Copies of this chain bind each other. A is one copy, B any other.
Amino acid sequence: MSFQNPVFIPGPTNIPERLRKACDMPTIDHRSPLFGQILHPARAGVQAVLKSETAEVFIFPSTGTGGWETALTNTLSAGDGVLAARNGMFSHRWVDMCQRHGLAVEVVETPWGEGLPADRYEEILTADTEHRIKAVLATHNETATGVRSDIAAVRRALDKAGHPALLFVDGVSSIGSMDFRFDDWGVDVAVTGSQKGFMLPAGLAIVGFSPKAMEATRTGTLPRTFFDVHDMTRGYANSAYPYTPAVGLMNGLNEACRMLLDEGLENVFARHHRIAEGVRAAVRAWGLDLCAASPDVYSDTVSAIRTPEGFNATDIVTHAASKYGVAFGVGLGEVAGKVFRIGHLGSLTDVMTLSGIATAEMCMADLGLDVPLGSGVAAAQAYFRSHSAASVLKAA
């Protein structure tokens, strides 16, 4: 197995050396006070990354999918109404989970490539005068299509409709990389994992609950034990855990928060935007289109790139892996074969990004697409040169 090239999948990301070492921890007694020295700052760090002062943060040895289940099973009861849009594979899967748990989901089918339809949400919520809808699902960043949605707009839709439903936001591929405002946006449950913006290995579901969501946990009757937030709350109060915690990963999470907050969240977001713009400049230079329908929904963590009709975009991913040892993301679901994805989140530099762009170019050329070698690289270089954080020559 070779680990020389960076990965360009939309998570798990390249893991910074510092986090590799924070996770690789010898065993400590998780019932000793040492554990509290990891648990509490990790939770406080996540809260800060969420830009929240009130979110109750839960950390499960699980993944984002477990975070979704945490949101649903702690607050809802069988038969409860849920409003959701399906505009990509991950919003689709969350809807599917609702259905498996006996929730009555109203699904707004939305073209893959578009953002969440806040207007349509508003209409439906306004019409739901009996408040059968208990929760609204919103995928902040559709990893499958590279589409960022406007969560503030969803909040406004709820507010305009005067609707009390909880707002659940999937921030798996946005939190820690793109601006996320738990308090400002009135988010009730935010869900993410360790392997995206936090740059860690997969293995943690990281979930924030608003006070209103905590209130709802008193009435939700869906069965749950592993993902029960009350057990967590009771444990945390004693620096403990309801079962054996993933201590090393939590230590890594603590360190990851420190990295993000030390760099400054706005700097982190600006860095992701700069790198994403470089990738998008390359895509334009290639004469290709993004799956994302318009600039206002461009994701700063992943770009899904449409290939020409008749071309199987998945071949690029397979070819990059076999010939060049580089991992890109395939298209999923409705856009399978139609797009390939370049992940550009987590711990990535302009320089690493250029190697991904250069590889994509070689692959497209190898597979017969009319993409001039160096064209995308040059476009990204031009952008990076003039926007690099350290563009004033320090060493002059």
* A residues apposed to B, CB below 8 Å: 1-5, 7, 9, 11-17, 20-21, 23-34, 37, 61-66, 68-69, 73, 78, 96-97, 100-102, 193, 195, 201-203, 222-228, 242-249, 315, 318-319, 321-327, 329-330, 347-352, 354-355, 358-359, 361-362, 365-366, 372-375, 377-379, 381-382, 384-385, 388, 390-391, 393-395
Contacts and interface: CB of A to CB of B under 8 A. Distances in A.
Contacts of A228: 100
Contacts of A17: 3, 26
Contacts of A3: 16-17, 25-26, 28
A65 B352 CA distance: 34
A69 B248 CA distance: 24
Nearest to A332: B31
A-B pairs, top 9 by smallest CB distance, nearest first, are A374-B378, A374-B374, A29-B327, A355-B355, A318-B395, A373-B378, A322-B394, A3-B26, A202-B244
Contacts of A388: 323-324
A359 B15 CA distance: 22
B348 A366 contact: no
A378 B7 CA distance: 21
Contact of A321 (B29, B69, B102): B29
A73 B73 CA distance: 14
Count of chain copies: 4
A9 B31 contact: yes
Contacts of A78: 223
Contacts of A11: 244
Contact of A358 (B222, B377, B393): B377
B381 A323 contact: no
